[in-house]
Chain A
Amino acid sequence: MAELTQNEKRLLAVLVKEEKAEAPHLADLLAATQEAVVQWAHLAEDKGLATVERIVSKEFVYTDEGKTYLKDGLPETQLLRFIHPGTQLADLQKHEAFKIGFGQLRKKGLVKVEGASVAKAPGASTDADEAALKNPSATDTKTKDLFKRGILQETETVRYTVAITPEGFALAKKGLDLREETGTLTREQILSGSWKTANLRKYDVTKLPKKAYPGKIHPYQRIISEMREILLEMGFEELYGGIVQQSFWNFDALFQPQDHPAREMQDTFYLNETLPLPPGYEKVKAMHISGGETSSTGWGGVWKEEKAEQCVLRTHTTSVSIQHLARNPNPPVKAFCIGRVYRRETIDTTHLAEFEQLEGIVMDEGVTFGNLLGILREFYHRIGFEGVRFKPSYYPYTEPSLDAEVYVEGIGWIEMGGAGVFREEVTAPLGINYPVLAWGLGVSRIAMLRLGLKDLRYLHKSDVAFLRETPSLRQNKGGI
């Protein structure tokens, strides 16, 4: 049995003598409020030590109007008293009870109007109504009429009676420790040593605590940080770059033709800003037009400086990694970037106009497409995906290209991200003379799987309750 509180003990001690008593009486004896006594009694009842009886009694109360009628008689009674043979309707109308009383008399059929005069019906009497007014009864139809007329009201009074049970009696007989309890220990009690004799209150440990909410990292940031740590462990250098990029670095340097559909206003957020082209941009231009000095044919057609100068919200973090490579053309380069990227998409549950992209690049002498597959397998294994497979794909700036699929228990194979070797058309104009392996993935895809989200917007417009309830440590199974 759960421990008794000090108040329950005091209640039981009183009940041993009283056996059964009403709450107000117990309240007097215990110097407490009725509400408190009833609460303690309920706690004792839960433990089978007492019983609490709730008695509801109904009483009739007169409204102000009712009180007047009790003194003067109901309006119809007053009128009946006034009516004598030959009473004129006009005179009766002057009576202050006429408005209510006359209607009642007509309704009950107690008067007859004959021309200009009014007469009582034979045997007209309001005695039964008056009786109901004086002694109301819940079952009486006359009383019910008085309720409807707003003359009487019914009120409910709740009383509590508490009685001790044989178990309670037995427990009390064994003796109750009625010494005063100590809740929170005080400094004084600790220093003086009085805690030794203090009656420390024992708490019900089975009860749920009041919730405390720690400050913590967003579950999505936690996933981002996990990926970041995996890449740092794998020997990658972290990159950070601006979200505003020149089309040149976002598209042209990546050999994206200027008439490519992804560059249109429908797919990319353009800004009303331009930046001057970097020195040596002519090599990129030549690559687009004719393939420069490589075995490529280029795209042909025209290449306009104005298009390349336009600023956009970066559509991929590749705009950051390509600039890093251009600045660091000597091998080895192993770098990654996790950052917000932008696509002009209509926002719905699975598409956002902005989301986090992770991208990794490896540039080194003699690295191969096979090495890229090896890096990807290792990376996805570390995230927790056991099954990883690759299939051909297409990206404008990589060749060969692939998509990585991972196996998720209960879902099957799902596409996680793309990868490939940067085309020579990308690397050659920037003076990068070694193969560059690159891969990317949308971090929110993994977040959605792991957090069981139905709506991606929830990552950015989160319910505080969701953030409070999602534990920091999640048991990931098979990567999710």
Chain B
Amino acid sequence: MAVITLPYKYLERLTRTDKKTILDKIALIGSDVERIEEDHADVEFFPDRPDLFSPEGVARAMRGYLGIETGLPSYSVKPSGIKFTIDPELANIRPVLGAAVIRGVSFDDESIQSIMSLQESLHWAVGRGRSKVAIGIHDMDTVRPPFHYIASRPSRGFIPLDFKEKMTMAEILEKHPKGRDYAKIVKDFPLYPLIVDDDDHVLSFPPIINGERTRVTIDTKNILLDTTGTDKRAVGVAVNIICTAMAEAGANIESVAIGGVQTPTLAPAERTVSVMECSRLLGIDLTAATMAELLRKMRFGAEPDGADTVKVQVPCYRADIMHDWDLFEDVAIAYGYDKIQDLPPKTFTVGKPHPVQVNAALAREVFCGLGYLEVMPFTLTSEDVLYKRMQRPGRPGVLHVMHPISIENTVVRTELLPLLLEFLTLNRHRELPQRLFTVGDVVDSCHTYQQASGVSTHPEADFSEAYASADAVLHELSVDYTVKESADPAFIEGRRGDIIVAGKKIGVFGEIHPAVLTAFELEHPVAAFEFDLRAVPGYPVL
């Protein structure tokens, strides 16, 4: 999530109201206030609204929401006369380039920090960690246009930002901290992307690092923005968000010619939406006029066009407006969620429990009647617990998690009994007898189904207790079963039985093998059983 620092003085100046008015309402446009400090607030905004990742963007939205300035913000763009060329070799490497000239900026340490943090937030939310979009900001007065976006040999060198010596691009990927962080985006290509000026000075090695030459300082007056990436729309949005934020701060935006096309235009997109559709979705009565007014509050250009239609101009920085309903959400926000009448729907329906959960609830009831206490172990476990300590062979249907977080969480459970034994280990110091049960999901390959299992430990726990308990639960659940001698190595030979239903083994009961007890560091005998709840009549075929 993007947490944006909003310095009060700057925010108040841009919004043209006091900080209390702003902070009281800021959550209502979609944010979480994280911290209120002496001189600033830290506010979290959602990833679909990267246009709010700067104080300038927040002020723009709040001016609208508070009614200080509504409707479409307009930005004028003059051509700078500057050209970019693109090397066709980049087509399979990093084909998309966006750029702009931002003139008349006045930086101090704080505002440099602010634009750097906007840049980083955009890298995260729009750029997918710079792979889709990467942004470079340069002091334009240190280089000479036209500029060239080229594919260059990794052996080419320049002085990267924050370094004193020249390094080759290959070295940067190995040694520079940013190089190491983002190397994976370019390292497999034979040539790397590079932006140079007409004197062959390096501006940037996107998406890794800028050159030291074009470093932005408090003396910087004019900025050259470069944005490279793999997705045309995302690159365009990033350029628009930065340019409009800088324009809000008082700078002038100029376009550049990339392959002959002037960019950016900062022009709005057009959408025509239905008032009826919006009213129906939100459950509020709207006219075209009120809907247009609400949209203007959210900084859209909006005018009624007949009784059921509103013509909307979507500002160029609103990356999230993909569908008409995205506009309807803004209508709802402007209207106020607290003012929408909240009535449950009228349609008559009847509640219906799922048979799997009905059976599970019944099994729980029977276990409780036998004095068993329910526990709810994790479903992620290890083969050590499931098989090795149980002396059981591994199951072919066990599912391995591809990137486990720890060695205790490498597979999804295929049975419940080992987890109950683990529970007894955890509670060794507690009073005996302990009788525990669990009912829940296990997997067999990609298929999920339910099992039930119970354990009882105390100095007299034995085969007859296991048999009696298993029989009671199976009987109560109407499972018509027979028993035959088991070969399950988790149990003592001659004190173990397989539960057979329709000729198929569905469970096992008996006295846990002393070697298994030792593996679980248990000191008293354990009477145990487990079975497949699919054997219970009424279990649906899923």
Q: Which residues of A contact B (CB under 8 A)?
A: 211, 213-218, 220-221, 225, 228, 231-244, 259, 261, 265-266, 269-273, 275, 291, 294-301, 311, 313, 331-332, 334, 339-340, 342, 344-347, 352-354, 362, 364, 366-371, 373-378, 389-394, 396, 399-402, 421, 423-425, 435, 459-465, 467-468
Contacts and interface: CB of A to CB of B under 8 A. Distances in A.
Nearest to A237: B352
Nearest to B348: A235
Interface stretch (B145-153, B192-200, B401-409, B483-491): B401-409
B447 A364 contact: no
| A-B complex: 6 closest residue pairs judged by Cβ atoms | A368-B283, A370-B283, A232-B351, A373-B342, A394-B46, A400-B329
A340 B402 contact: no
Contact of A344 (B232, B357, B374, B405): B405
B377 A460 contact: yes
A469 to B, nearest CB: 11
Interface in B424-471: 426-427, 430-431, 434-437, 441, 443, 445-448
Contacts of B430: 463-465
B443 A270 contact: no
B362 interface: no
B345 A241 contact: no
Nearest to A334: B349
A18 to B, nearest CB: 43
Contact of B357 (A214, A218, A228): A228
Interface in B337-369: 337-338, 340-345, 347-354, 356-357, 361, 364, 367-369
Nearest to A220: B376
Contacts of B353: 228, 232, 238
B: interface residue count bin: 35 or more
Nearest to B436: A464
A468 B432 CA distance: 12
A424 B324 CA distance: 9
A256 to B, nearest CB: 12
Contact of B341 (A271, A370, A465): A370
Nearest to B540: A240
B446 A311 contact: yes
B542 A271 contact: no
A402 B129 CA distance: 27
B85 to A, nearest CB: 25
Given A242-B448, A297-B322, A423-B325, A235 B405 contact: no
B227 to A, nearest CB: 16
Given A243-B443, A394-B47, A294 B323 contact: yes
Given A221-B374, A242-B447, A463-B427, A269 B323 contact: no
Interface stretch (B22-30, B109-117, B174-182): B22-30
A368 B282 contact: yes
Contacts of B371: 213-215
Contacts of A353: 380, 405, 409
Candidate in B325, B338, B368, B404 with the most chain A CB atoms within 10 angstroms: B325
B370 interface: yes
Contacts of A435: 281
A477 B356 CA distance: 32
Contacts of B328: 399-400
Contacts of A461: 377-378, 423, 426
B373 A215 contact: yes
Nearest to B1: A394
A243 to B, nearest CB: 5
A394 B30 contact: yes
B403 A344 contact: yes
B49 A272 contact: no
B164 interface: no
Nearest to B400: A272
B281 A298 contact: no
B379 A354 contact: yes
B135 interface: no
A295 B328 CA distance: 13
18 contacts: A213-B371, A215-B368, A215-B435, A216-B373, A217-B374, A237-B352, A242-B446, A271-B401, A300-B233, A370-B284, A373-B342, A399-B323, A399-B326, A400-B325, A459-B376, A464-B373, A464-B434, A464-B436
B132 interface: yes
Contacts of B30: 391-394
Contacts of B405: 344-347, 353
B307 interface: no
Nearest to A238: B354
A354 B380 contact: yes
B283 A369 contact: yes
Contacts of A265: 402-403
B3 interface: no
A362 B434 CA distance: 44
Given A240-B354, A265-B402, A425 B379 contact: no
Contacts of B205: none
A213 to B, nearest CB: 7
Given A295-B324, A373-B342, A393-B46, A261 B403 contact: no
B329 A271 contact: no
B128 interface: yes
A459 B374 CA distance: 11
Contact of A240 (B349, B357, B436): B357
B225 interface: no
B137 to A, nearest CB: 24
A346 B403 CA distance: 12
Interface string B57-77: 000000000000000000000
A411 to B, nearest CB: 16
B183 interface: no
A343 B132 CA distance: 24
Given A295-B324, A369-B340, 11 more contacts: A215-B437, A225-B361, A228-B353, A301-B231, A331-B347, A354-B379, A364-B347, A375-B345, A392-B29, A400-B282, A463-B426
Nearest to B437: A215
A392 B280 CA distance: 19
Nearest to A390: B337
Nearest to B274: A295
Given A272-B400, A391-B28, A424 B376 contact: no
A370 B340 CA distance: 6
B332 interface: yes
B523 interface: no
A243 B445 CA distance: 11
A151 B529 CA distance: 63
A269 B128 contact: no
Nearest to B361: A225
A230 to B, nearest CB: 10
A369 B426 contact: no
Contact of A235 (B232, B349, B443, B446): B349
Contacts of A465: 427, 430-431
B108 interface: no
B326 to A, nearest CB: 6
B100 interface: no
Nearest to B438: A218
Nearest to B271: A295
B375 interface: yes
B280 A366 contact: yes
A240 B540 CA distance: 10
Contacts of B373: 213, 215-216, 218, 464, 467-468
B275 interface: no
Contacts of A467: 373-375
Contact of A297 (B132, B323, B404): B323
B281 to A, nearest CB: 6
Nearest to B402: A270
Contacts of B374: 215-218, 221, 467
Contact of A298 (B29, B49, B322, B342): B322
Contacts of A331: 347
B408 to A, nearest CB: 9
